[in-house]
Structure 1
């Protein structure tokens, strides 16, 4: 099945911007002009007040009002703590903290660790470029979803998608899905269909979310069916409880600073986290995942897992050290 009509995509790219390939480049130039011409100077850019035009321009590139205001404020006044940003913007401190974490996830600001942590805005040209990349990814995702919907509708109508006649090769599918709920539905199906092996790489905050979403029940069901399950994650003081529960059920190992998601099921299917936010305050609606149902490609991901597995250490030893270092750790 053709997931993306490349000819239609290419015509749009050529008509709008042959060199860059994305029609929103005009948005970038207009946004940079607004930043340059709006007031006081900071570095090589001129940044002034939070004009409605500037905020609206950033919103048109995917930010919400709060994110846009906080980015402009950080850019104008320089490094600031969450408390200072909250006072300046009039937002609640908790809301400001969540929005700055979202900007950090979008790579529009940098966090300087200290007491307190300070946030610094990235240069407008870099920040706007990242927003355009995200907008392009979202647009491509909608194209994928539109093609998926077209295929489903044609099948409901008793017709085959163009080019599907006479196909005899095994089912192969590549698709992007948006939202954590969509991933959980798909990964739950993959776990239920697995009969031999599940290989997982999950970030530290991710295992806390998985356990809260009922993942332990899925693990138990898989183990009962005889499925061998191995997982690599980062064990921290914050996820000791979840790590302990998982270590009692499956082969669990620790690897520091895991920053991506990977799931491989029977070496025939896999999912990869392209962009996601495991912050407890995030609903994950903007998370993007690549779902691959292609045995050849899924098998090619196994060496990546095995390489990390070999460099990791048993979770039990890390859990023992953390518990010894914090005998009065939080009560669950």
Structure 2
């Protein structure tokens, strides 16, 4: 049996019964072809339901509390014919599905289309519909997928599902480039995703400046947030708009720093991140807001501040702020060091 209790698997491969159901049936046969569920401890089990549903165990007409084993040969011909008819019916329905749904698909696609001159813009509302459309676009891609995802740890798909989808895309020969914020280098799920992606030829970089969420598929469809709402997305097919968005993405890509998914954060990334932390601290921004703006967890932000206090030998946050203010304002804008 191979030790499996998975329905449809037997020693020979594809089968009808689970290993547990087969064992229970053989036990009933060896007990004279009769089984009392209440006494045998199998009452209500999935294995018992399997045997009753398929007809290998039936109630005794004289004693309903007893199940009687049926000769499998009596069931084979009838079940085989019934299942073959069901298979043909399902096959026929599957072949008719594209044409049957064509009108419905066309109507669905036209909903939200922008009839104004300049090309269609389709607006979708709700994460479920947005993710379904993204999945279809990803799976149908043939050339490249570009993504700019600020706060990249908050992915549209669960990490393992995103890895499975994107690795499949890369193995089809579709290129994949993604831009994240530097804070994602501190996110274990994102590092796991990036490691899997780069191992398959994907490219990921981080950019230490504000940028907008954007996806471009095969340079024919661009996806941007709709009206600043994460529950809305605009799917754009206008060539001029896509060309403009492509130029924005390529400019960000050139300024971004490669990210391979390992736990080593390049010094320039740490320096720039801490410069932004310091700038907001000196502006009086609260820690929770700083963490949200930079895409950091409050724990990661606290670790950076603790390391800054140690570096500047500051016992209190007030003392740290005073020392940082002196160092920060002596530097020209864009200088990489805080010392």
TM bracket, shorter-chain basis: 0.3 to 0.5
